[in-house]
């Protein structure tokens, strides 16, 4: 699924894999103690709505300083309202600290969605459209084409004839999702049957594993967010930056409204 990365991964991959081996030298690593500034905490929002039955969730947290532990304070007691352009609207319920869920709201492809969040006297808004879902035609697990005996899931799906389709996928093994960002545009495969390979160096598939692939059709804004998020952590980027937020008022985050399909297979 990382075809769009073919170019940008070349150099780091090559450098790390080949050069040290060739020069019979290994690069040396060490942990640095850098005096980093402490950024003002920012509101972080993750909102997902799909065409599948709910509940859909909105998670609101805050950022922390880099040197603190990975405990991110939640934003509690917010008013979260989800609505669409067909006149439906629902106020979400906080089911756990910082986690807000719908009860009866149903996403429908083709509609536009609006999210309005009021927290601590501030308001954060976002708008998003929901693309049509696309079915996974086939999911199989086979040996990697890149040599070795590593097993890799492969899916096939039909990209629509018009350009501008964007995909996000989740690679789930025995109920646990890989946290690698998997996304694809159709720039290079418009109108084709697309074959997506899934590769996570931390996952070693074995017989009996249950593999589920979730395929989301996302809009361009969401695709861009994922791409920018992915690049924001790259040590090869000359000028890393935060992904462009979907929300107003300096909150950082995304509002993804997507069509969703999935397929499951047991590794033979």
Rounded CA gap, 221 and 244, in Å? 9
Asked whether the beta carbons of 267 and 174 are under 8 A apart, the reply is no
Q: Is 140 in the site for other proteins (CB under 8 A)?
A: no
Q: Which of 107, 131, 153, 253 binds other proteins (CB under 8 A)?
A: 253
Q: Which of 120, 146, 149, 161 binds other proteins (CB under 8 A)?
A: 146
Q: Which of 229, 262, 265, 267 binds other proteins (CB under 8 A)?
A: 229
Phi-psi region of 170 (alpha: psi -120 to 50; beta: other; left: phi over 0): beta
Q: Is 204 in the site for other proteins (CB under 8 A)?
A: no
Whether omega before 181 lies within 30 degrees of 0, making that bond cis, reads no
Q: Is 149 in the site for other proteins (CB under 8 A)?
A: no
Residues facing 262 on adjacent strands: 214
Q: Which of 46, 125, 200, 209 binds other proteins (CB under 8 A)?
A: 46
Beta strands 151-158 and 176-177 are unpaired
Our CB check for other proteins shows the closer of 84 and 173 to be 173
Our CB check for other proteins shows the closer of 84 and 221 to be 221
Report, in Å, the least distance between residue 89 CB and other proteins.
Answer: 26
Rounded CA gap, 60 and 74, in Å? 6
Candidates 49-57, 103-111, 129-137, 194-202; binding stretch for other proteins (CB under 8 A): 194-202
Radius of gyration in angstroms for the set of CA atoms belonging to the chain, rounded to a whole number? 20
Q: Is 135 in the site for other proteins (CB under 8 A)?
A: no
* Angle formed at CA 208 by CA 202 and CA 210, multiple of 5 degrees: 65
Candidates 2-10, 112-120, 125-133, 207-215; binding stretch for other proteins (CB under 8 A): 2-10
The structure tokens listed for 192 are: 């084709």
C-alpha distance from residue 252 to each of 125, 136, 156, 179, 208 (Å): 11, 32, 33, 19, 40
Report, in Å, the least distance between residue 215 CB and other proteins.
Answer: 15
Q: Which of 89, 132, 232, 266 binds other proteins (CB under 8 A)?
A: 232
Rounded CA gap, 165 and 156, in Å? 15
Which residues, 11 to 30, sit near other proteins by CB under 8 A?
A: 11, 14-15, 18-19, 21-25, 27-30
Q: Is 207 in the site for other proteins (CB under 8 A)?
A: no
Candidates 75-83, 104-112, 175-183, 203-211; binding stretch for other proteins (CB under 8 A): 175-183
């Amino acid at each position: 699924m990382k075809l769009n990365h073919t170019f940008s991964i070349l150099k780091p991959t090559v450098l790390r894999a080949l050069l040290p081996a060739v020069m019979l030298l290994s690069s040396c690593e060490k942990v640095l103690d850098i005096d980093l500034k402490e950024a003002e905490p920012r509101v972080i929002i993750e909102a997902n709505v799909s065409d599948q039955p709910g509940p859909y969730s909105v998670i609101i947290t805050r950022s922390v300083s880099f040197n603190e532990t990975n405990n991110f304070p939640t934003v509690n007691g917010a008013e979260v309202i989800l609505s669409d352009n067909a006149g439906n609207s629902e106020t979400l319920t906080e089911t756990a600290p910082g986690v807000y869920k719908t009860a009866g709201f149903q996403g429908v492809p083709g509609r536009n969605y609006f999210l309005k969040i009021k927290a601590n006297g501030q308001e954060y808004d976002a708008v998003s459209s929901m693309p049509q879902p696309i079915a996974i035609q086939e999911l199989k697990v086979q040996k990697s084409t890149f040599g070795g005996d590593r097993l890799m899931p492969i899916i096939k799906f039909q990209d629509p004839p018009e350009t501008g389709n964007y995909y996000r996928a989740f690679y789930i093994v025995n109920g646990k999702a890989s946290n690698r960002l998997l996304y694809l545009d159709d720039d290079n495969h418009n109108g084709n049957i697309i074959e997506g390979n899934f590769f996570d160096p931390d996952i070693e598939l074995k017989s009996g594993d249950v593999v589920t692939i979730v395929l989301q059709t996302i809009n361009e804004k969401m695709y861009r967010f994922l791409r920018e998020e992915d690049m924001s952590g790259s040590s090869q980027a000359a000028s890393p930056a935060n992904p462009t937020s979907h929300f107003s008022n300096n909150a950082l985050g995304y509002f993804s409204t997507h069509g969703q399909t999935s397929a499951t297979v047991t590794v033979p």
